[in-house]
Amino acid sequence: MKILITGGYGFFGYHLAKELAKNSCEITLIDVKSKEEFDEDFKNLILKDKITYLNINLLNNKLEKELDNDFSHIFHLAALLGVQNVLDNPYEVLSLNFKMLDNVISFVNLLENDPILYFASTSEIYAGTLLAGGLTFPTPEQSNLILPDLTLPRTSYMLSKIYGEAICHSCTFKSVILRPHNLYGPRMGMKHVIPQLIKRINQTKKNGCLGVYSPYHKRTFCYIDDAVKQISALINQINNENQIFNLGTQNPEINMKELALTLAKIMNREDIKINELENTPGSPERRCPSTKKLDEITNIKNRTLINTGLKETFNWYWKYRDYYLD
């Protein structure tokens, strides 16, 4: 297999490439990061045989001039994301995410070897259905998608992904839609709740208080190794084209207060007291995907225990604490 991963420097792209490299796949990663910005883990990744990195901006609509023409699988993971981006730059989130996907599709249409496009959507697309009171848990892929008030915060990213899914459905080539749900693990940056809590716990004084927003909002967190192993198994199966898969885990559910207490225990900071703060605007009260469909196809049902995954994640951030936690 010859695989292209857009957003290859990112959290998801890095771990996916690391997993697929075990299968002797030929992998090309593209992103906008320069070599001067590479971290130690990524430098080690691209030293592996059959992994190539190219500095390419997906807003360039002439990708065929920079890329090979015989990829069998294209994973489009690149996107403008992050809550702060969504809140501060909604127009850019909507327009640039569409432009990047459109350019990738234009490139795929030029390939003559019948490739498969894997499009990374988001669990956020279920948010409108949840607000309307029509969402079941665990949430199956065939759930109706209901649009919320389009003026609400955080809608731009969700809308860009719903539109992206619709575009994939309308294409003539084969595609698979992945809806990631709260993936976490080492090297996920600092824009997500788990690394943010690790940093704030580390900075909390002895016997101090830690404020936790949306303390009773529930999530199921999926360790990144589990997610990429399922994708690796998925691409070796036939008849999965033009389907939608939730990517994540459906148990255990854990609320934000429990998550903070679990991390505090892992970090030997049980002296910390939790101060329950208000709910974050736009944050779903509950997010729990049904993974039955993907589990049956990949035959991977076991997941990393939440305590084990959180320990691995903390250990990685502690290793690079001078950069991430101070």
pLDDT tens string 77-132? 999 877 777 778 888 999 999 999 999 999 999 998 999 999 999 999 999 999 99
Q: Which residue has the higher pLDDT, 87 or 257?
A: 257
Mean pLDDT taken over the chain: 94
Please state which architecture CATH assigns to domain 2-189+222-251+287-303.
3-Layer(aba) Sandwich (3.40)
Q: Where are the alpha helices (DSSP H) in 120-221?
A: 127-131, 155-170, 193-203
- Which tokens sit at 237? 């199966």
Q: In the predicted model, is pLDDT for residue 27 greater than 80?
A: yes
Q: Which pLDDT tens digit goes with each residue over 137-177? A: 999 999 999 999 888 777 889 999 999 999 999 999 999 99
Q: Where are the alpha helices (DSSP H) in the chain?
A: 11-20, 40-45, 83-88, 90-110, 127-131, 155-170, 193-203, 224-234, 256-266, 292-298, 306-319, 321-324
77-91, 215-229, 233-247, 259-273: the lowest-pLDDT one: 77-91
